[in-house]
Structure formats: structure tokens, C-alpha cells
Amino acid sequence: MIKVADARIGTCIMNRDEPSRVTHKERVTVGTHMHSKTKLTLQGIFSGRTEVLTLGHHENLEDVEIVNKKGQVAAKISPNQLQIMDLVSYETLAATVTNDQFAKISEGSIVSFIEFQGKIIVTEIREGKE
């Protein structure tokens, strides 16, 4: 748990049961007696949804550790489904990608991905083998 005042741009927190990244932070004045709050702009990692929250400085947020991993595409299973091999642990994972990403990926491509609570999202596609 972190306080709203300690959240920085790039910090990942839980918002509505989805990990979200802080993309913008500012202090805002609320009311005529100079009460201030923190305004956070969050972007959902899986949905891409943007949301703005205005919270008190001392409220708590659940922080989340997000680790980017690198893998190699082992096979295209079906439309929008990939099989990715983690280049560190050599485990094979199933990932869902968008239509645009699916068209760009070929077997053997190197990809960066995030795994969180059983969901996998491809964040970067590199052509060729590394």
C-alpha cells in the first residue's frame, strides 16, 4: 500500500480490479479554503481505458509490481492466440493479442510481454530472432 502523495508517474496500482499505470499527476485546489487533493490519470494495462481520480493526499492505494519479460513466439495457435516461450524460464505461455499485433507477428519473432494474474499482454514486437 502506498499513499496517493507517494505515487509517481509510471507507478502501477490496482484500480477496479485491473492493474493501471499512473500517466499524469497534479495537485488541485478544491473549495475556497485552499483544500488540496491529488488528481491522478490512470491507464489500464490490459484494457487501455483511461480514468481520472481525485483523491486526498493521505489515502492509500494498492501498488502492484509489474515485470516486463521477453519471449519468443513459438506458434500462432488461432486468430489472436499465440504461444510464447519465456526466454528466461523456458516455460510456454498462451497469450491473446489484437488483430494488428497478430498480423505483425511471425513465428520466431521476439516479443516483450507482461504476465499478471494469469493474463498475458504483448507490449512490444521485434522482428527476427535475437
How far apart are alpha carbons 78 and 5 in whole angstroms? 45
Distance CA 25, CA 80 (A): 34
Q: Where in the chain is the domain with CATH 2.30.30.30?
A: 2-61
User: Topology of 68-126 in CATH?
Assistant: OB fold (Dihydrolipoamide Acetyltransferase, E2P) (2.40.50)
pTM, two decimal places:
0.68
Pick among 3.20.20.150, 2.30.30.30, 3.40.50.720, 3.20.20.60: CATH of 2-61 = 2.30.30.30
Grid cell, residue 75, equals 506458434
pLDDT in tens, 33-86: 768 899 999 998 888 899 999 998 889 999 888 777 777 777 777 788 888 888
How far does CA 5 lie from the centroid of its chain?
A: 21
Q: What is the DSSP letter of 58?
A: T
Contacts of 4 (CB under 8 A, 6+ apart): 38, 40, 55, 56, 57, 58, 59, 60, 61
